[in-house]
Amino acid sequence: MSSLRLPKKASSGDSEENPSEGSEWQTTFMDTMTILLAFFIILASMADQDIAIMMGSLPPEAVDTEEKFDDPAQPLFFPIEYLEEDLKKSMREELQSGVMRLDRGAYEIRMQFSGSSLYASGGAELLPEGRAIIQRVVDRLSVLERQDFQLDVEGHTDSAPIRTVKFSDNWQLSAARAAGVVRSFLEAGMPATKLKASGYADTFPDVPEKDAAGNYLPENQNLNRRIVIRLYYN
């Protein structure tokens, strides 16, 4: 007679595993990775926006900022336009007479003066009229709201050779004339840290000095004998 065999009772060491046990850490890990991924996406989008602004593909006004630099009521970061208008008003006489010429760049103003209005021929001592001109420039600059400007005084000559007891060539003459203007600025109260003198002789002519036949043009030579006061912001 066959006997009925019952299945053996499982021992305590052979219990089945619960599939849900041990998966909780995986859920937490996935949540953390999702948050980090979202965070890096936000950072990347902000960086792309900044790059687009710097490259010019995205106008700055497309981004909200606390300060609006294009607001006409706000002073310009480089107040060159305001400075040009002030100088035109205060130096009207010199501009109308042709003694002075004003040129504006993106970050600088060039005040150009005829050499004959500041110096005697072949000399480097400022004439009284020249000292008065420099004093008016100093007075105008002293009331500027932004005082972190620099002044580079350039001396230029014509190409005619010069040899005197005091100056052996045009390099010495142009440097001495530029230094004379700087000295006048100092005497008028301009800080020395703002000033620099540069002599260029005839290396940067404003106009051609000779005609097609090679003859000197006195009018053009006079234009090339000049002092340029370059005002700029770093």
Residues 222 and 140 in one domain: yes
- Using CA atoms, how far apart are residues 129 and 143, in angstroms rounded to an integer? 22
Note whether residue 15 is domain-resident.
no
Residues 223 and 191 in one domain: yes
Residues 112 and 85 in one domain: yes
Specify the pTM.
0.65
Residues 124 and 213 in one domain: yes
CA 198 to chain centre: 20
- Overall domain count for the chain: 2
- Using CA atoms, how far apart are residues 178 and 183, in angstroms rounded to an integer? 9
Residues 105 and 47 in one domain: no
- Using CA atoms, how far apart are residues 105 and 120, in angstroms rounded to an integer? 30
Residues 54 and 109 in one domain: no
Residues 142 and 226 in one domain: yes
- Using CA atoms, how far apart are residues 47 and 37, in angstroms rounded to an integer? 15
Note whether residue 27 is domain-resident.
no
Instruction: Write the pLDDT tens digit of every residue in 62-74.
Output: 544 444 334 444 4
Q: What is the domain extent for residue 205?
A: 80-233
Q: Which of 126-135, 142-151, 154-163 has the lowest mean pLDDT?
A: 142-151
Residues 41 and 84 in one domain: no
Note whether residue 19 is domain-resident.
no
Residues 139 and 220 in one domain: yes
* CA distance to 28, 97, 133, per residue, from 129 (Å): 85, 13, 6
Note whether residue 128 is domain-resident.
yes
Note whether residue 40 is domain-resident.
yes
**Could you tell me the CATH number of the domain that includes residue 116?**
3.30.1330.60
Residues 136 and 41 in one domain: no
Q: What pLDDT sits at residue 21?
A: 56
Which positions ≥6 away from 90 have C-beta within 8 Å?
A: 136, 139, 140
Note whether residue 75 is domain-resident.
no
Instruction: Write the pLDDT tens digit of every residue in 106-139.
Output: 889 999 999 888 999 889 999 999 999 889 889 8
Residues 98 and 45 in one domain: no
Q: What pLDDT sits at residue 81?
A: 83
Residues 53 and 95 in one domain: no
